[in-house]
Structure formats: C-alpha cells, structure tokens
Structure 1
C-alpha cells in the first residue's frame, strides 16, 4: 500500500528541481511515491525528471499539454496520486534527511486529516540560514474540530508555504477545489473551508525553504495585499481575532507595507489607480499617491536601511528585498551590509 504521495506541481524550474528531487528520491520506499506534474514547462524539466525516474521506480512524471496554473496543477497531481496522504511540495525547496521517515511515523501513529511540518528559511543557494523555524513553537500540537482558531493562529502564516502541508487525499477530493483556482493558495482553501476533525503540527524543521528566487515578486503587491488576505478573511468558521493573527483584513491601508512594495518596485501609480483609488478616502489617497510617486531607488535604500536596523528577525526580509527588487543597487547593498545584512543568519557552507 502506498501510504504517502509526495506531489509536486512544477513549471519552468529545471534549474532548481534537480536539487529538490535529490533530497527526496533517496528517501523513497515501497510506502512512498513521488509524483511530478509538469505544467508544460518550456525548459528542460522533462529531461531532469526523467533522470530521477530512471533511478527509482517510485517516481512518476506527468506532463500536461498546457499550463493550467499552479492551483489547478496541484489539484491534478493530487488526483494522480495513489497514497492515502499527499505531501504537497514545492519545486525548488528541499526536505531534510530523515524527513519522510518522520512523517510516516506520525501518519502511522495518529492518521491525521492534516499534518503540518515546520521549515527553515535559507538563501537561494541554501547555504545561509536566516530562520531556523517558522512556527512560534516547538514540539507536537494536535487540533480537533473545535480548535479552529488555535490552528489558524498557530499555523496560518506557515500555511502560506505549500511545502509544509501533508493532507489526507480523500479529504482533498471530497472538498471544493475549483472555487480556489486563481487564488494561488488552493491548499489553504481546501483545508480551511470547513473544520478539520484531526490536525497535527510538528514543530520540527523538516523542510528547507529557498528564498530570493520567487517567481511571484512581480505580482507580490496583488498577492499579499489582496489575494492572501481576501482568502483568509473569507473563511466563516474562524474568529476575526484569529484571522487578524495571520494577516490584517486590508493590509494595503498600512503606509509601511505600501512603502515596502514601492521599494520592491511593484507598487506604483498604476497599481494605485488600478487597485486602490476606488477604495480609499481622500485623506488616504494623498499619502498612498505620495508613496507611489517616490523615486524607486531612494525608497529601496530607505527601506533596506530601516529593515537592517531591526536586526535578526528582519534578515530574510532584507535579503529578499535586495535580491528581488528592480530598484536594488550597489548603494542599497552597501547600506544592507553596513546596517547588518545577514545579521543573525549563519553560513552553513
């Protein structure tokens, strides 16, 4: 019997997916399969995955004729899976040695509807460790149908990363899914649309998240200011206080957040007119327009300086801003280094 299917939906990640698969394939067994669904990648993803399929009979590769988007592709790969549980995994991160065995042990012991595992946050080369964990706790926590607020408060932020999620396949298939196509977080929609009878969180970092290579940066303002909060606040079975622990209902009303997105180069006058102008008061529109008009390189240097000054907890934010902004410059890099860029991080290489 296949107990666990590791399900990857991929698109144009040939330069990273080999490292992901290398971390998984040696841990496969008769109980565990790896299913890779390729959304019609135009690069050499097929050749990369074929090499791993030749090494292991537990690897299956499915290539779609067209790209249907990340949500639909994850839905498809779960439907192709054969395991009782599916580990929804990303195509550029890695699992740590022994992670699959640890997950199998928990599945055998508690048979949860949902298992969420902790993760480290590292740079795009996976050498520098920025955050040793994403959970605010260590150890094991269990949640029943009446513990929705506790689950959301503890795990809501972590659930934005799909690679931490192991879900019972039958639960996935019996819940609404197409409603969440286009949200970019179909797994959150499936998991939180109704109470979960039995969920478990393991405060053990079993995944290494790679940051600094996100494909979503250009759409970041729309995703994190609108799509993500709208999704979290759409769930009826959670209190406003629990939802607010994850994300404010309208984060775009916070000047500091707009300033950060201006520094990334994805909030500008066009975004203001397209997304905010019709939603704001006259007073709000003045400062929102002012931020949108700030010179990008100046905004970038200012935000980098402010974030580095906050020290350890912001090191990953500074790294992503320096690596991901179109306004990044030699000046902002010097400011980041002078202000403590990477402070609190360590190089494991």
Structure 2
C-alpha cells in the first residue's frame, strides 16, 4: 500500500558531497513512513552522485532530480519543492543537520496549523564545520512571541512583526528553519523578478504572508546550522547580497511605506555598526557611491552614513599607526643588534 506523505524534506544541493551524508544520517535516525526526501542536485561535479547512490536505497520515500548544469540556487530551491508530493515542505540546506527530535516536533506543529497558516518558522543553532557547537545557547529569533503563536502579517500587522524581529532569519533569509504549505508556495506570485539575487525564496514567502497567509512561531531549535566565517575577500559581496536583496523585496512586495521601513530596519539589527564600517573599508569609491545611495533608500540618515565614513577612516588611521609603530620597533631592534 502506498504511504500518504505528510511532510517532504526538500534539499537543494550543490557540491556538498562532503556534508550531505551527515544531513541524511540525521534524518534517518528520526525517519517515519509518512516523510519523503526530495533532493535537487544543481549539476554538482564533486562526489554528490556517489552519496546519492549510497543513500537512495536506505529511504523508503525518495525523489531525486539532477540538473545538467548549475542553474543557480533560486531555481534549485524551486525544483526541490516541485518534487514534493506532500502537502508540507521543510526546506533544508544540504550542509546542515536536523536537530534531535525535530522531525517529531515539526509534525506536531503541522497538526496544529490552522487552514490559513501556510508557514512555520523555527529557531536554529550554529555549529562549526566539524559539527561542534559555536555558541552555548540556541539563537532566539522570536523573543516577543510565545511558542505556537500564529501571527498575521496582513496590512499594518506586518510592521508590528518586522519591528519585533531581531534577525533576517525572522523574514525567511535562512532556508532550513522554514516549513511551508506547498499549495501556498505554488500559488504565490510577484517573485520572479528576484531570480538570481539569492533571495527569491524569501521574496516568495514575503509575498505569501503579505497576501494574507499567517505564520506559526516555533521557538524550538529544529536544525543545526553549519557556520563558518566569511572570508575577507567575500565580505563586501555578502553584505551587498543582504542590502540589495531586502531593498528590492521591500520596494516590490511591501506596499505600505511605514512597514517597508520597518522591514529594512531588521538589516541594522542583523548587522552591527562595525559591519557597515567594514563595508566602507572594503568598497572602492565608485562602489561606495552605489552603497551610499542604497543606504539612503534604506532610510539611513546622512548623519549615520557620515558616522560610517568617519569610523572607516579612523580604522584606517589606527591600522597605519600600528603598522608604522611596528616598523619603527623592528628598525630599533636592528640597530641594537
């Protein structure tokens, strides 16, 4: 007899052959017959295909698709959901692992979801590349809400939610804490313009909640996020992905100007002031002109932007001071010898 699927775990992957086994093992230890695995492989050229071959027979409900080439993360996420046959989809990064007992917890939340609740959003815990905890406590993205609260973001209520959100994870930036109703995902409109900016899935979910669907808060940690520091040469690009992506989402999908500003205010809470100073340090003068225009449109005051510029100059002066000091010290040591 064919099982009725209650939950599809949707895994877009690309060159994650080294980490995918850990994720699949974490699912296997909790697996139930009404859960299926849906993997979309973005044309990986590592050993991902070998991993898929080893695990395909270990799962009763297994759906797999392989692109002939890398189509970008946005289309790969979309394909992983298209593969799903269940009514609910748990989006999952292929280098993460699900937390102990989280599969049972997610299924309990599905049973308590009201008909107009189309998204469940949960917490995460950061782990190192070798799976050791980075922080002593799990991240807490929903300090203003109780576990199980079902929140409306329609109209002015979205501004209230955005103003209480300490992290971009509260607005769907992080894949593996999102569980969604597939029918709402497939029916969403107004997000295609975001393809290629790495936040098309975020735009799609913002469109869903701004359109009237409600969101359930799960304050439990359901996933362990493999986290590593961004290399210096990628810091500028990473920050710009956030700023450009959420600026575009706000302009296109949040019609109320006040709510839009409150959405953008999450960027300030997500990134400490030193991140903006780092942004100015790394940017060329031409890049900074674009960034300054972007920050102004994100409601940064001229005084705040001036503070960023002054802070960056101070960092440069201080760095040069210590460099000169070190150089003089080395010269004096040479004279003594």
Q: Which category describes the TM-score, using the shorter chain as reference length?
A: 0.7 to 0.9
Distance 1:203 1:237, change over 3 A: farther
TM-score (norm 1): 0.72
Within the alignment, does 1:179 sit opposite 2:193 as a pair? yes
The C-alpha deviation readout for 1:116-142, integer Å capped at 9, x for no partner, is: 111112222221332412314262221
Matched, 1:123 2:128: yes
Report the TM-score, using the length of structure 2 for normalisation: 0.75
Once residues 80 and 273 of structure 1 are traced to their aligned partners in structure 2, the CA distance between those partners, rounded to angstroms, is: 43
- Would you say the 8 A contact 1:95–1:208 is kept in 2? yes
Match of 2:84 in 1: 81
Which is greater in Rg? Answer: 2
Show the counterpart of 1:258.
276
Pair 1:226-2:262 in alignment: no
CA contact (8 A) 2:72 2:196 kept: yes
Matched-pair contact (CA < 8 Å) for 1:160–1:185: yes
Between stretches 176-185 and 80-89, larger displacement belongs to 176-185
Match of 2:330 in 1: none
Matched with 1:24 is 27
Secondary structure at 2:49 match in 1: helix
Residue correspondences, number:
297
Asked if residue 197 in structure 1 is aligned to residue 207 in structure 2, the reply is: no
Q: How does 1:60-75 map to 2 (within 5 A)?
A: 60-75=63-78
Residues 257-298 of structure 1, C-alpha deviation per residue, up to 9 Å, x if partnerless? 3333467xx544564367558998999699759949976994
Aligned ranges 1:119-158 → 2 under 5 Å: 119-130=124-135, 131-137=137-143, 139-144=147-152, 146=154, 147-154=157-164, 157-158=168-169
Counterpart of 1:312 in structure 2 is none
Structure 1 partner of 2:328? none
Partner of residue 313, structure 1: none
Q: Distance in 1 between matches of 2:31 and 2:37?
A: 8
Q: Which residue of 2 aligns with 1:168?
A: 181
CA shift for structure 1 position 100: 1.0
1:41 to 2:82 alignment: no
Instruction: Give the counterpart of 1:105 among 83, 105, 108.
Output: 108
The change in CA–CA distance for 1:21 and 1:269 in structure 2 (over 3 A counts) is farther
Q: Is this contact kept in 2: 1:95–1:206, CA < 8 A?
A: yes
For the aligned residues, what is the CA RMSD?
3.7
Q: Secondary structure, in 3 states, of the residue corresponding to 1:27?
A: coil
